Structure 1
């Protein structure tokens, strides 16, 4: 092995890894600034068609941006009103919920006493001790509630400001991007940015449609069956389902807890779980693939790691943003000669044969890339190949 020839590549890979480390460090330190900016970036891409519609109809630029933001505020306001209305209904049923919870606890206590030597009095003492601990823990959490609420209001206040500025200065920002690259690469840069816009809009509009039909479908079916707080279960599951893998599990747990608290019988719980499973199967295998499409596929490993890292960096917002961020990074990596291996790591273009036995899979090949896209049912969006 010739180490002299390998040394530049080794140094380059080491610099890449160090760059990733320091980039992650910067993101963690600046997450309070970057999270609203990143959210504003994706929302501004999503709002571009509406902004262009107003500009096409001779709206002044500032008025077009302001009207676009007004539409966004109205939509978010309707979502908040819907949540508030459903939660107020839940609070009004609190006496019934309290009675049902008490009944379930008595049934559980009798069952535990029948299979173990623990008496009802011992169970009551244990529950009291644990309740005091939980209340103490909740007290500590509530002590920082003011800071959290302040952070949420700051976040919600910064996002529309960032959206306005990103739309207002979009041409300046695009010129800034082109100046980073030599003229010979400008066509490739333009194709990359157009592809990113298509993928982001496709993904975010797909999520918006998904939340709508999941709420109507799941909430409607549960309402027809006669489950209390059906729409609240539907909308909570629809939003949590946007978080890959983890969200569906949390949505099932919350749906069961709401049903358990609202009903004194067991059959509604089984019904809710069955309906959620059926709707989720329909969503994952039929509806969502047709709505979002398959222009970019992210493998399950990269998705799970991205959700965990996003949650650690920016909480729930980071978990929501993890998948579109990975998708954008994959588009950039796929079009960058020095970072294509990272695009392969994020992608789902899984070869059927091992590169240990197929030398063609070890090196860059346009023919092999297209074959892998066909095998994995991925729509090529790049003009002129890679």
Structure 2
């Protein structure tokens, strides 16, 4: 006899299950975070390794090792460059501290002349506190090294996990088949291929966007004469992997640095203007043309996923939140009872695509309008 449970009891069990899952994710963070990054890299490298195995006739272990070594070399060069620039930047902390102290004096004098606000007498205190940034930076650097050591120890697991996931991929596929009936295995493989396509499109497109945005940021800062323009340009572009928030941090640091080194507010405003313009280009032209509609999440879902990922796994969770919520959306869309959740996460452009068979952004509409205008103009000339 089938026992029917009340709806409130089922929903309570679901909520408790989600809370238990979040607790387990936090408890086993040291293992799950490297494993999650390894899954993304494995999905990204899978087509390359398949081509090496089929076209170049390389053994699977050798193809995997070559791919991993190339990734490590590229990331190592980027980290080395940023480290050299950061060490050079810290050598100017004394000068920056002195400039900030002078800037505080100017602000207090302006407030006294315009509004009669007497200086608080804290100018020298601020000067001394900021002048001691070198000692603070040294202490912070020491603490950062200790924390980074643990992070490096954790991320050394990523190449190992990537190798295992790629080497045993056939075995993992057979493992998943053990839980699915034979008549449903084709649909399961289609879902897996969709997930792979989403992850590959997101990560590869993101890498291209980072390169383009870093070039635009650095070019704009070089035109303004900002010191360490290449460093700030690359640093801000890398932060774009954290949606919405990363670009704010990336623009704030060079703006404060410029204000501290030049003492002119207009220079800092111009730096912020450069990043706002590049962000406008990235959000409306670069990312839509490169990434396309593969990762089609609405901004509200992306922001919620970003905050939840940050609460669970910190910065790593913020980075992983968007690709993982996109993967979950693919699963929701393929499972009938969960399709409403997939609909909730979907972007309105994707909904329009399914309903009307086409999707156009405002940029595409303007572009199409210009094309139609040119065509009508040409037709008018022909009629004349």
Please classify the TM superposition score into its range, dividing by the shorter chain length. Answer: 0.7 to 0.9
DSSP 3-state at the match of 1:159: helix
Asked whether the equivalents of residues 110 and 120 of structure 1 are also in contact (C-alpha less than 8 Å), the reply is: no
Deviation of residue 18 (structure 1)?
A: 3.1
Instruction: State the alpha-carbon separation in 2 of the partners of residues 137 and 80 from structure 1.
Output: 23
Cα distance in structure 1, aligned partners of 2:93 and 2:207? 32
Gaps of 5+ in 1: 353-367, 378-386
Which digits, 9 at most, give the CA deviation of each residue in 1:77-115, with x for residues without a partner?
111122023223323444543343232222223234443
> Is 1:62 matched up with 2:46?
no
Higher mean C-alpha deviation, range 223-232 or range 202-211: 223-232
SS at match of 1:165: helix
**How far, CA to CA, are the matches of 1:278 and 1:142 in structure 2?**
33
Matches for 1:301-320 after TM superposition, within 5 Å: 301-320=300-319
**2:105, 2:123 within 8 Å by CA — same for their partners in 1?**
no
User: Normalising by structure 2, what TM-score?
Assistant: 0.83
Secondary structure at the aligned position of 1:121 is classed as: coil
Distance 1:261 1:333 in 2: 50
User: How far apart, CA to CA, are the structure 2 residues paired with 1:117 and 1:92?
Assistant: 35
Q: 1:98 to 1:146 in 2, by over 3 A?
A: closer
**Aligned ranges 1:15-26 → 2 under 5 Å:** 15-26=13-24
Alignment of 1:166-185 (within 5 A): 166-185=165-184
**Separation in 2, partners of 1:258, 1:337:** 53
Q: CA deviation at 1:183?
A: 1.3
CA 1:314–1:8 in structure 2 vs 1: closer, same or farther (change >3 Å)?
same
The partner residue of 1:370 within 344, 354, 358 is 354
- Asked if 1:117 corresponds to 2:101, the answer is no
2:319 is paired with a residue whose SS is helix
Partner of 2:376: none
Report the aligned-residue RMSD: 3.2
Corresponding position of 2:278: 279
How many residue pairs get aligned? The number is: 358
Measured at CA, do residues 376 and 322 of structure 1 come closer, stay the same or move farther in structure 2, by a change above 3 Å? farther
Partner of 1:42: 40
CA distance in 1, matches of 2:140, 2:310: 18
| Structure 1 position 348, deviation (Å) | 2.2
Query: Are 1:349 and 1:372, in contact at CA under 8 Å, matched by a contact in 2?
Result: no
What TM-score do the two structures reach when normalised by structure 1?
A: 0.82
User: 1:60-90: per-residue Cα shift (whole Å, max 9, x none)?
Assistant: 2211111111101111111112202322332
1:199-278 alignment to 2 at 5 Å?
199-278=198-277
Cα pair distance change 1:265/1:251, threshold 3 Å? same
Displacement after TM superposition at 1:289 (Å): 0.5
